[in-house]
Amino acid sequence: MTVAIAFNQDSSLPLHQLEALGSSIMQFFQGASFVVCRGYGHHYCPAAEILEIERQSDYKAQLAVMVDALLAKNPTYLVSVGGDGLASYIASQIVRRKAEVILLGIAAGTANVGPIVSCTPEEFANLEPSDLEVVSIDGVAVSDDSGFLGVGCNDVILGNTFLGTENGVCCNLSVEELLLHDARVPIQV
C-alpha cells in the first residue's frame, strides 16, 4: 500500500505539532510506503519518498502539479494536512484525473470546515486503522465556458476574498492577488 501525504505550506500549526503529525501518519499506516512532494511536508515525513516537482507561477497550478505527482504513484490513501481549502483543491484534482484514491483530511488550516477535513490532529492521534470507514460525499462540480474549475464539498464561494492565515493571523485574503500574482494579500472588508 502507498500513502501520499500533502501538508499545507501555510499551516497555522506550530512546527513541533506538524512534525508529530507526520510521525503519527507514518505510524498509523505502518508497513505502507509513503510519498510526499518537496515543499509539501517532506520535512515531517523523513521515511517518505520525496518527489521533485516543477515550480509553477500560479498557486492552483502548483497544487495541481503536486497532486498529479502524488497520484502518479497510485496511492491507496492521499492524506491532506491542511484546511478545507487545500483539501478542496486536492479533491478537485482527484475528480479531474478520475483517480481512485481515498482522501483523508486532517485539520491544520484556518477554518477546517466541511466534510473532507475529517478530524483534528488530536483526534487522528487516537484513531486505529480499523476506525476508518470509507464513505462517499457529495460535491458541487463548478464549470464555466472553459470547462471544469473544481469541486465544492462544503461551499462554493463567488467573491473577491477568502478566509486564510497570514503570518499566524486569520484574515480575509484577496482572491485576485492569489490567482494573478500568487500572493497572499490581506484586505479589509
Per residue in 143-169, pLDDT (tens digit) is 889 998 888 776 666 788 888 878 778
Q: How many residues in the chain?
A: 189
| pLDDT mean over 180-189 | 84
Task: Please report the pLDDT score of residue 158 as a whole number.
Answer: 72
**Residues 6 or more apart in contact with residue 132 via CB below 8 angstroms:** 104
Q: CA–CA separation, 120 vs 11, rounded Å? A: 13
pLDDT at 113 over 80: no
Helix (H) or strand (E) holding 131: none
DSSP 56-105: -SSHHHHHHHHHHHHHTT--SEEEEEE-HHHHHHHHHHHHHTT---EEEE
Instruction: Provide mean pLDDT across the span 130-139.
Output: 87
- Whole-structure pTM value: 0.83
